[in-house]
Amino acid sequence: MTTHCIEVRAERIYTVTIGRGLMQEIVESVSEAHRVAVIHPGVLRTSAEAMKTELESAGRECVLIEVPEAEDAKTPEVLGFCWSVLGTAGFTRSDALVGLGGGATTDLAGFVAATWLRGIKWIAVPTTLLGMVDASVGGKTGINTDAGKNLVGAFYSPWAVIADLNTLDTVPENDLRAGLAEVAKVGFTSDPTILDTILEFPIQSVDPNSAQLESLVVRAVTVKARVVSGDFMEMGSASGVLGREVLNYGHTFGHAVEKVENYRWRHGAAVSVGIMYVAELANIAGRLSDEDLNTHRKVLEVIGLPTTYPAGRWDSLYSAMQVDKKARGTLLRFVVLDSIGVPSVLEGPDPSLLVSAYGSIVPD
C-alpha cells in the first residue's frame, strides 16, 4: 500500500506517517538518541518488547514503562511514576520517549516528555483509530484531575507521528467505531466527503484492511494537520476564523459525559453524544437546518454510535461543562454548525436552550 506523509507545522515541523509495517520508521525517528523509553499499556506488552528488541539491535538503550489502560493512565500518580523511571534510568535531554498505544497513552507520554527536563524528544505511535486521527496529532498533551478531563497539560508537539494501520487488525470493532466519531467530527465541520464515504460504505468504514478506512484516516489527519498548523495554541486567527477550536465540536458536552460516567465510556461514544447534543442545540437556536440535523443522526447511527443519553443527569452535566476548557468565565461556549462544513460559535446560550437540547437527546 501507499505510505502517506502529512506535514504539521506547529512549534516545530513534523510529519505524520500513515502506512503498514513502519517499525523501521520508528527506529529511524530516534536514531540520534542514546536511550529510549517506551510508554505503553499492559495490553501492548508484546508489541513494546518487540520494539525494544528492534531499538536495541539498532544500538539504542531501551526502557519499557508499563502504565494502566486508557484514561486510568492519565493521573498525577502515573505521571509521577513515569518521572521516577526516567530519573532512575538517568534520562537526559539527548534521550527520547515513545508513546505506544491509544490516545490516552499518547496524551500521557507527550506530557511526560514536555515536563521531563522541561522537554525531551518524543514520538507518538498510535495503535487505535482514535489515536491515529486525533489524539496523537496536534501536540495537546495532558492528564485528568478530579475536576475534569485534560485540565492539566501542555501544548508540546511530537517529533513524529507514526501510524501503522496493521495495528488496527487487533482493535475490537467497538473501539474502531468509537474512533470513527472523531473522523465523523471533522467530516461535519470541514470535509463532508468523509460523511459521504461513511454513508456509502458503512461496513468498509470499520474494516481495518479496507481502502475506505485508509482514505478516512488520511482525510481526517489532513484536516487536523491543516487546522493545527494554522492555530497551534488555539488562539484563533486574526481574520476571525474559528481556528483550532473547531476541533472541539461535540467535546464540551462529550467531556461532561465522560466525567459524569467516571470515564467508563469510550471517548468516541461520549463525543458522539456530544455531537448530537450540539447539533440539537444549533437546530433549536435556529442555526442548523432539520436536514443537516438528520444527517448527523444518520451518520452516527450507521457507524453504530450512541446519539442519546439518559434523563435525570442535567445538573451534573451542566456543572461539568462549566469547568470545560472552552468556557469563557461564566459563559459556556459551544462550537456549532450553521450548516455542514460551516462551523461557528454559540457563546452563552440561554439556559432554556441548553435544557431543551438535552431533552432532545433523551430517549423516549
Helix (H) or strand (E) holding 281: helix 267-284
Closest Cα partner for 4 from 15, 107, 87? Answer: 15
CB neighbours of 200 closer than 8 A, spacing ≥ 6? none
Note the pLDDT of residue 244. Answer: 86
Q: For residues 28 and 212, give the distance between their C-alpha atoms in angstroms, rounded to a whole number.
A: 29
Task: Give yes or no: 280 in active site.
Answer: no
In the chain, the amino acid numbered 119 is G
Note the pLDDT of residue 86. Answer: 97
CB neighbours of 88 closer than 8 A, spacing ≥ 6? none
Q: Which of 52, 251, 259, 326 is catalytic?
A: 251
Q: Which of 118, 262, 291, 328 is catalytic?
A: 118
Note the pLDDT of residue 1. Answer: 62
Q: At what angle do helices 192-200 and 290-303 cross, to 10 degrees?
A: 50
Task: Give yes or no: 224 in active site.
Answer: yes
Q: Which of 177, 214, 245, 248 is catalytic?
A: 248
Q: For residues 313 and 300, give the distance between their C-alpha atoms in angstroms, rounded to a whole number.
A: 22
Q: For residues 202 and 177, give the distance between their C-alpha atoms in angstroms, rounded to a whole number.
A: 10
Task: Give yes or no: 140 in active site.
Answer: yes
Note the pLDDT of residue 39. Answer: 98
Q: For residues 18 and 12, give the distance between their C-alpha atoms in angstroms, rounded to a whole number.
A: 19
Task: Give yes or no: 34 in active site.
Answer: no
Q: Which of 74, 224, 266, 296 is catalytic?
A: 224
In the chain, the amino acid numbered 107 is D
Note the pLDDT of residue 157. Answer: 95
Q: For residues 139 and 96, give the distance between their C-alpha atoms in angstroms, rounded to a whole number.
A: 16
Q: Which of 4, 35, 185, 244 is catalytic?
A: 244
Task: Give yes or no: 255 in active site.
Answer: yes
User: Coil, strand, or helix at residue 6?
Assistant: strand
- Identify the structural domains of the chain with CATH numbers, from first to last: 4-170 (3.40.50.1970), 173-361 (1.20.1090.10)
Residue pair 207/129 in contact (Cβ under 8 Å)? The answer is: no
Q: Phi and psi at residue 4, in whole multiples of 5°?
A: -100, 135
Output the nine-digit C-alpha cell for 316: 451534573
User: Coil, strand, or helix at residue 294?
Assistant: helix
Q: Which of 40, 74, 121, 140 is catalytic?
A: 140
Q: Per residue in 329-352, pLDDT tens?
A: 568 989 999 999 999 999 899 999
Q: Which of 4, 74, 149, 267 is catalytic?
A: 267
Q: Which of 52, 74, 149, 255 is catalytic?
A: 255
Task: Give yes or no: 347 in active site.
Answer: no
Task: Give yes or no: 4 in active site.
Answer: no
Give the chain's residues under pLDDT 70. 1, 236-241, 324-330
Task: Give yes or no: 149 in active site.
Answer: no
Q: Which of 25, 182, 258, 280 is catalytic?
A: 182
Q: Which of 25, 71, 214, 234 is catalytic?
A: 234
* Maximum separation of any 2 CA atoms in the chain, in Å: 63
Task: Give yes or no: 174 in active site.
Answer: no
User: Coil, strand, or helix at residue 224?
Assistant: helix
Q: For residues 78 and 325, give the distance between their C-alpha atoms in angstroms, rounded to a whole number.
A: 23
Task: Give yes or no: 177 in active site.
Answer: no
How many CA atoms, within 13 angstroms, populate the side-chain half-sphere of residue 208?
24
Q: How many residues does the chain have?
A: 364
